Structure 1
């Protein structure tokens, strides 16, 4: 097996990258960089075009597949590695392997992702529990007996779960299953092998229930840890539950019991912690394309089975003062974003003069600031934002804070926003300076040298 620290492991790939990046390598500070994992890669290779008249074939990409596969075979399961290569005109090559730090999330390409400065820290929305809703009750449509009769009529001969299996699921989950969910599983336990190779029978079962039912042993609590999200995206979310919402805008809840899938990756769950206008036991859909919140699907499990699935109803709001996006298309100024409920400020592409952060000083809930490189008039104004837990800035702005000893100590995580073909090694050094302030594990480098002949 090839070794990851052997130059020969990388040589076929480096030859391909050299051939496809001659202009970039010849430029001042010329380099090539990328990332390779066991199940994917990001490399600066020009697209392969098939001969005129036919589609791209596997053999057209075989040289790349073979070169990348050689590196992948040297990686452990789920391991990723970033690299930077400097290749001179004679073929002399210096290859920098950037070993991942457990304190750094995966980034895009060779640059590091978010730096987790506090061990096991998660963004504020992932720490939020649902609010109590006094007086919330089941919908009138909830009827476990009717639910059971309907399913038995539709699925004669289906294999149901035993009481012992239901009790085992409750013990594993640490909660009692709602009566409707028990009634469902007493008729059909959801195991694929109960249908054998009869795919039509399995499809009929999904149609009868309104989803692809999980086996009891796969039912889970859809709490925040079950819905992981990288820091740089999760920190820009906010929990917002409008007064008339049926579903609370949380990431997850100890009262969301996921029991099925809609066939497209969205999870169905019984909701025992509804919003102000919701019902205990309502059925919600947890979308796989969203990181927070859920949509109302039915007032009860009985309603879902007996009457079928309606279009999901969303209570999400795009106009909440908790999140402000300042750029040339959205909010026109920092002053327009300032609000006592403001939690997240994201400054994007900006065509005007650099912005002052002064209007944000003293806001009680502000916890996240992201700023596109070059958009801040004075990065040192960040020192007045005393409640920040996440900060994303360009390398130059971070340099100002580091040199002034003004990096906010309230941070739990940070990120370096990089645009263009910036050399990764100075960015890695900057990341290591930030990690060192919290005594977190560094991104380490392994340097390999070799020669690529023509």
Structure 2
């Protein structure tokens, strides 16, 4: 056992937390839950939320909580763990009980939440948008504006001293990527390989290349494919919060998370630029798209050819919309009936002041993959058993209890979530999560209990 599972490792933090409790009259006696990570921590109590990211830069700013957290972080590093969730009860007389929660491989940990994140019910499963591949688009061609020879000539005039790639180096890049580079991209790299050593560590030379090309150019040997795995996601964010993607009949860019035909060659302030070899029906092979650092799905068109981008003839991002919306949020101002249509993929039921809602209008929708419902909004949770295409379901503990007792959870689920308040006792939530995981024979959340004394309140 590592020092992470020793009471003395946590004792200073328990002192800090009990001091915070005693500062709130009548509060001592309730549980305290939190999560300590290598780089940040979060502790929640019924009356407060304490969060700190990183480390205090000035030693004078480092209070006892900093040293206490750092002690736990050292134990995490020693154990090779990214973080640990805990639930603690502390008595004014000194006895303290600490439960350490190891979520294991079947549960996603939220960075600042002590409660379990998404329960991954099928090993290796990813949300449907992350499985979506580009559709074939017969007849799509490069833009008439694409001119590899003119592009190469234009760049050589502006970068006369640049070191270009050899044909062998271009072939090596194609073999590594598993895809043939478009002629425009090869023309660009014949002028400059964009390697730092070619610039003799001269920042000015690197900036001249960036100004000539129109972006921070990746070295030839760092080109990569922006497939779905290259986009950040967690199960809940991908299933619930991410924008649904689709491709309209006039779309220039296919509605995808990633594509085997998106070759990233540069970036702007963290946004990635790629040539697109799998365009939509209204696009061109080799067009230039941008993948925003703030979004995990979709891409926008900025130029229909690399030639246009380099010459500065690019336009604002354009992205296809969903019509009608594939993601619907139902609250007191709308209804399930209004949201129900064949294209609906994600239904979120929020604050509801009327009579509990029936799910009858959405039972036969062919693309519905995600349902979330706030507590008390569903007239009959057992109607969920009729949603046979669901991949992700998030409910409050009471509604999960109804489904579990009736053995009515849709077997199509790939992942699940439990909706609770921040001040909820995590231990019953963990027990419920384990009950759901057991139905899929998945690894359970484990609990280690540490007991000791931190002395009476002074």
TM-score range, shorter chain: over 0.9
Between the aligned partners of 2:191 and 2:426, the Cα distance in structure 1 is: 58
How do 1:429-448 residues align onto structure 2 when only pairs under 5 Å count?
429-448=431-450
Structure 1 residues 247, 29: closer, same or farther in 2, change over 3 A? farther
Structure 1 residues 64, 187: closer, same or farther in 2, change over 3 A? farther
Aligned to 1:67: 68
Q: Calculate the aligned-residue CA RMSD, in Å.
A: 2.2
Q: 2:126 aligns with which of 98, 122, 129?
A: 122
Unmatched 5+ stretches in structure 2: none
Matched, 1:404 2:406: yes
Q: 2:149 aligns with which of 145, 149, 156?
A: 145
Q: 2:273 aligns with which of 262, 268, 271?
A: 268
Moved more, 151-160 or 393-402: 151-160
Q: Give the Å deviation of 1:47.
A: 6.4
Please give the per-residue CA displacement for 1:278-316, whole angstroms capped at 9, x wherever unaligned. 111000001111111100011111110012543222223
Structure 1 residues 144, 58: closer, same or farther in 2, change over 3 A? farther
- Please say if residues 262 and 275 of structure 2, whose CA atoms lie closer than 8 Å, have aligned partners that are also in contact: yes
- Please say if residues 346 and 368 of structure 2, whose CA atoms lie closer than 8 Å, have aligned partners that are also in contact: yes
Aligned to 1:247: 253
How do 1:203-352 residues align onto structure 2 when only pairs under 5 Å count?
203-236=207-240, 237-262=243-268, 264-317=269-322, 319-329=323-333, 332-352=334-354
SS in 2 for 1:64: helix
Matched, 1:96 2:102: no
Moved over 6 A (4+): 45-48
Aligned to 1:52: none
Please give the per-residue CA displacement for 1:312-364, whole angstroms capped at 9, x wherever unaligned. 222234x53422211235xx111111112222111122222221111111222
Q: 2:365 aligns with which of 363, 366, 370?
A: 363
Structure 1 residues 452, 29: closer, same or farther in 2, change over 3 A? closer
Aligned to 1:51: none
Tell me how many residue pairs correspond in the alignment: 444
SS in 2 for 1:73: helix
Aligned to 2:38: 38
SS in 2 for 1:249: coil
Q: Give the Å deviation of 1:56.
A: 9.8
- Please say if residues 240 and 320 of structure 1, whose CA atoms lie closer than 8 Å, have aligned partners that are also in contact: no
- Please say if residues 2 and 73 of structure 1, whose CA atoms lie closer than 8 Å, have aligned partners that are also in contact: no
- Please say if residues 327 and 349 of structure 1, whose CA atoms lie closer than 8 Å, have aligned partners that are also in contact: yes
Aligned to 2:21: 21
SS in 2 for 1:251: coil
- Please say if residues 100 and 448 of structure 2, whose CA atoms lie closer than 8 Å, have aligned partners that are also in contact: yes
Between the aligned partners of 1:152 and 1:422, the Cα distance in structure 2 is: 64
Please give the per-residue CA displacement for 1:379-434, whole angstroms capped at 9, x wherever unaligned. 11111111111101111111111111111111111111112410001001110001
Between the aligned partners of 1:46 and 1:378, the Cα distance in structure 2 is: 34
- Please say if residues 91 and 451 of structure 1, whose CA atoms lie closer than 8 Å, have aligned partners that are also in contact: yes
- Please say if residues 246 and 296 of structure 1, whose CA atoms lie closer than 8 Å, have aligned partners that are also in contact: yes
Structure 1 residues 129, 29: closer, same or farther in 2, change over 3 A? farther
Please give the per-residue CA displacement for 1:194-242, whole angstroms capped at 9, x wherever unaligned. 3234222212211111111111222111111121411112123432122
- Please say if residues 28 and 92 of structure 2, whose CA atoms lie closer than 8 Å, have aligned partners that are also in contact: no
Structure 1 residues 325, 181: closer, same or farther in 2, change over 3 A? same
- Please say if residues 18 and 28 of structure 2, whose CA atoms lie closer than 8 Å, have aligned partners that are also in contact: no
Q: 2:421 aligns with which of 402, 419, 422?
A: 419
- Please say if residues 189 and 216 of structure 1, whose CA atoms lie closer than 8 Å, have aligned partners that are also in contact: yes
Q: Give the Å deviation of 1:440.
A: 0.4
Please give the TM-score of this superposition, normalised by the length of structure 1: 0.93
Q: Give the Å deviation of 1:149.
A: 1.3
SS in 1 for 2:125: coil
- Please say if residues 21 and 28 of structure 2, whose CA atoms lie closer than 8 Å, have aligned partners that are also in contact: no
Between the aligned partners of 1:90 and 1:134, the Cα distance in structure 2 is: 76
- Please say if residues 134 and 259 of structure 2, whose CA atoms lie closer than 8 Å, have aligned partners that are also in contact: yes
